Chains A and B, each alone.
Chain A
Amino acid sequence: MIFLTRRATFSASHYYWNPSWSEQKNEQVFGRCANRNGHGHNYTLEVTVAGQPDPLTGFVVDLKWLRDVIEHQVLAAWDHRHLNLEAPDFASVIPTTENIAIAAWKRLEPAVLAAGSARLSRVRVYETPEIFAEFRGEA
């Protein structure tokens, strides 16, 4: 099995807020991330697919194809957007790094499955170089 990873970057704003909590509790749990004017990050997305190299091309998947899938499925929706206000993925979940990784997985998996040659193995999202979250499709 070969694992192939493609990176992409997007810039977006967000804030952390649980509407069922008081303002004080939101500020206590989320700190500065609860500022409702939002703040932003340069996110790095790492998409890993797993499969066997095609005997003819030597590719697990064509990297250009994977780049386009990431562009169309994720970056077109999130890059230079406010995730709380503009991305339907976060209508009922807080756009934490964990939930961004899960939402990216949901956006990418159908296209990877449809291509048939590989399975989505891992999605990792870096919020900063020191903070990341990952989803592997586990229940």
Chain B
Amino acid sequence: MNAKSGKAYFGRRYTVSASHRLHSAALSPEENRSVYGKCNNPHGHGHNYVVQVLIGGAVDAETGMVVNMAALDEMVRARIVGRFDHANLNLDPLFVNRVPTTENLCRAVFGLLKEALPTGELEQVRVEETENNFFECESE
């Protein structure tokens, strides 16, 4: 097998269905309703989130891969899907003092994945809240 390939990227998309409520303890009830609108509904609401993980690295000469997908899947399912799928984000310890906006979810997912990658570098996490909005987090 021939080695000489440079850096490439591998991307994988996972679905997570979860509920949340956008509400900040630092704001008054009126301010919360004004800032978050329908998202402040006391009973919460849910989304089918898509979590897109982008791994960068050299293509392994023996496998032709940046990262083994089965190993990546196992890690992401254990750390992200298992944790957040069919859960209420507001009840997760990560969001006790942090509003579970998709910005904050995206950053949380990035942090949880960063420390546990099988191989390669975590280049980007994208979280799509609906088909019309998404958020991206990259290391800075």
Contact = CB atoms under 8 A, between A and B. Distances in A.
A87 to B, nearest CB: 14
Contacts, number: 74
A73 interface: no
Interface string A96-115: 11110110000000000000
Interface residues of B, number: 22
A79 to B, nearest CB: 21
Interface string B1-31: 1100111111111100000000000000000
Contacts of B13: 129-131
Given A18-B1, A20-B1, A131-B69, A97 B10 contact: yes
A88 interface: no
A18 B66 contact: no
Interface string A1-33: 000000000000000101011000000011100
Nearest to B61: A93
Interface in B29-72: 54, 59, 62-66, 68-70
A78 interface: no
B9 A29 contact: no
Contact of B8 (A94, A98, A129): A98
User: How big is the A interface, by class?
Assistant: 20 to 34
A98 B66 contact: yes
A102 B8 contact: yes
Nearest to B63: A29
Contacts of B10: 97-98, 132-134
Interface string A71-99: 00000000000000000000011111111
B63 A133 contact: no
